[in-house]
Amino acid sequence: MKPLNQEEKDTYAWQTTVPGFGEEGQVKLKNSTVFISRCGGLGSVVAYELAAAGIGKMILAHGGNVKHSDLNRQLLMTHDWLGKPRIESVERRLKELNPRLEIEAVNANVNEENAQELMAQADLIIDCAPLFEERYLMNREAIRNNIPLVECAMFELQAQITTIIPGLTPCLKCIYPEKPAAWKRRFPVFGAVSGTVGCMAAMEAIKVLSGLGDTLENKLLSFDLRDMTFMKSPLIKRDHCPACSGLHS
Amino acid sequence: MLHKVKLWGQLKHLAGDEYVQVADVSTVNELILKLAEEREEISHMLISEGQANPSILVFINDNQHLWETPRDLKENDSITLMSPIAGG
Ligand SMILES: [Zn+2]
């Protein structure tokens, strides 16, 4: 593993003093590759927090051009980039914060054609997509390549997050065996809600990669910021899950 | 037998109640069908193609309930229903 240089030691001095993390944890982050899709309300915040925390490499997938309606929540998009590719805005903003970060930026959302190639090299996948079709593809690639998956989602003032370890914990198909019929691509959202769960997902990523603390394996954390209620529920791995039932730890 | 059901997130806000009561049902499936009948405002979330929507997450006494392993409801079971979300 590549060690920290002096600039990195200085930059991360306020987090390498966290008990259980230390410079060892920082070295693990530096040598890690994280895949994130998409970089919208949720993924923007995940990517920004992980760029700040010193992840070594990110593979980022997000298609389309910046629109006015992105700007209430997609914090890596800027007004001066309206009409231009979102992924360029994402890359530019992350590099402003952390020029050491290596980025592989893809101007497309996850789809059947690109999924396998995009995720095969990742140490961790973070699912921030607005559609179950894309979420199931990330779940499939996580299982195929035995890569941990942080699964997070939101709607209105409500959000959910869990961490999937293929073969050990329930996967997304264990939780939702079939695509929920009623789900629509457009959903009501405040940036502060997607940002809240985005920060939690980034923290889960840091924990999975560095071994710090306890992750949300086998647990679903749900919260509702309309009345500030939080709930942690145990999840069950399905014996006959179509996606992960053949896997053993 | 009367069952107290906790609604989470969208189900709670649409129903306008955190807890609802459902009487005279013996399985989760029956409970969801009856609740959909009694609470029109959430029936579209509880029912899919005429059946209890399999995407609704159900927790009984802090354990996840799986649709493929039906279970009879008991007197003091604490039941929570949660609708699926996927916004990013
Ligand atoms: Zn599974």
pLDDT attached to residue B70 = 84
B84 near A CB under 8 A = yes
pLDDT tens-digit map of B32-74: 999 999 999 999 999 988 999 989 999 999 899 998 888 899 9
The 3-class SS string of chain A reads: CCCCCHHHHHHCCCCCCCCCCHHHHHHHHHCCEEEEECCCHHHHHHHHHHHHHCCCEEEEECCCEECHHHCCCCCCCCHHHECCEHHHHHHHHHHHHCCCCEEEEECCCCCCCCHHHHHCCCCEEEECCCCHHHHHHHHHHHHHHCCCEEEEEEEECEEEEEEECCCCCCCHHHHCCCCCCCCCCCCCECHHHHHHHHHHHHHHHHHHHHCCCCCCECEEEEEECCCCEEEEEECCCCCCCCCCCCCCC
In this prediction, the residues of chain A whose per-residue pLDDT falls under 70 are 248-249
How far B6 CA sits from the closest chain A CA (Å)? Answer: 12
For the domain spanning B2-82, the CATH number is 3.10.20.30
* ipTM confidence: 0.91
How far B49 CA sits from the closest chain A CA (Å)? Answer: 9
The pTM of the full predicted model, rounded to 2 decimals, is 0.95
pLDDT attached to residue B16 = 94
pLDDT attached to residue B64 = 93
Tell me which residues of chain A, numbers 32 to 61, contact chain B at a CB-CB cutoff of 8 Å: 38, 40-43
Domain spans of chain B, in order of start: 2-82
CATH architecture of A30-234: 3-Layer(aba) Sandwich (3.40)
